[in-house]
Amino acid sequence: MTDRAGSVEFASAYAVLDSLCAKVGFARTEHLPLIDGVAAEGIALWSSPYARLLLWPCLASDAETIEMTAHSAQRWFDEVLISEERGMGGRPIDGYLVLALPTPPADDAREDVRRLELSAQVCRKHLIWPSLLDDADHADVPWRRIADITVVGLPNAKIKPGEELQWPEIDSEAKALWEELDAIGVSAVLLKDEAT
């Protein structure tokens, strides 16, 4: 896929996210949704039954460009999420926006990056950028902070996620406590424990 910046660097971000997303049950969306009759160029969208992950390239790493790009991406993604939630009978869908910067953020943008990532408006947001040749782990970690993307942060799990919930196996002591909590309630268990 050619991105809006025309950089081959972004191609490796698509590849890394493809691999991570596949490990946690996300599939790449081949046909991007049209918003106001237009599909955004250079982006990639992955879907699972419960969430969507959007990779959106950013053309520069200064605070102003990051802010403008995040706003545009968030607006587009919000429309996609709302539309898909309507199609699923109102069931909520988690959204994860990943902005791919061409270089590490400028020093004056670091606080803006942190603020943006902490914002809960529309969806979770993560910013990634290419490793530098000076980075000791450059060969192993081609994109900085890609492992911090919460929805793909545990790609080496032994069990692939399924559509059905599964209860973990617990020992007999934990099972007895769980049954007691279920039978008499949390408050009663707490009072009982305080009395002993």
Going across the sheet that includes 27-28, the strands are 27-28, 44-47, 51-57, 94-100, 124-130, 143-144
**23 in any annotated domain:** yes
Which of these, 141, 149, 133, 170, lies nearest to 99 by C-alpha position? Answer: 149
Q: Are residues 139 and 195 in the same domain?
A: no
Tokens matching residue 74: 């968030």
User: What is the tally of structural domains in the chain?
Assistant: 2
Residue 121, both tokens = 């408006």
pLDDT band at 57 (very low <50, low <70, confident <90, very high): very high
Could you tell me if 90 and 147 lie in one domain? Answer: yes
CA-to-CA distance for 33 and 42, rounded, in angstroms?
Answer: 13
Which pLDDT tens digit goes with each residue over 4-30? 444 447 888 888 898 888 888 899 988
Please give the residue range of the domain that contains residue 195. 166-196
- Residue pLDDT, tens place only, 164-184: 556 677 888 888 888 888 888
Q: Do 182 and 138 reside in the same domain of the chain?
A: no
The closest alpha carbon to 9, from 102, 124, 133, belongs to 102
User: What digits encode the pLDDT tens for the residues 73-122?
Assistant: 998 889 888 888 888 777 888 999 999 999 988 888 888 888 888 887 77
Q: Which residues of 111-128 are buried (b: 16+ CB within 10 A; e: fewer)?
A: ebbeebbeeeebbbbbbb
69 in the same domain as 13:
yes
Question: Average pLDDT in the 23-50 region?
Answer: 83
- Quick one: 91 and 171 in the same domain? no
| The overall pTM is greater than 0.75 | no
Co-location of 78 and 136 in the same domain: yes
One domain, residues 29 and 95: yes
Helices (H), 24-109: 63-87
User: Do 73 and 101 share a domain, yes or no?
Assistant: yes
Does 75 map to a domain? Answer: yes
d(CA 166, CA 146): 28
Kind and range of the H or E element at 148?
A: none
- Looking at the structure, tell me whether residues 171 and 140 fall in a common domain: no
Q: Give the DSSP H/E element, type plus range, for residue 27.
A: strand 27-28
* Residue 125 and residue 191 in one domain: no
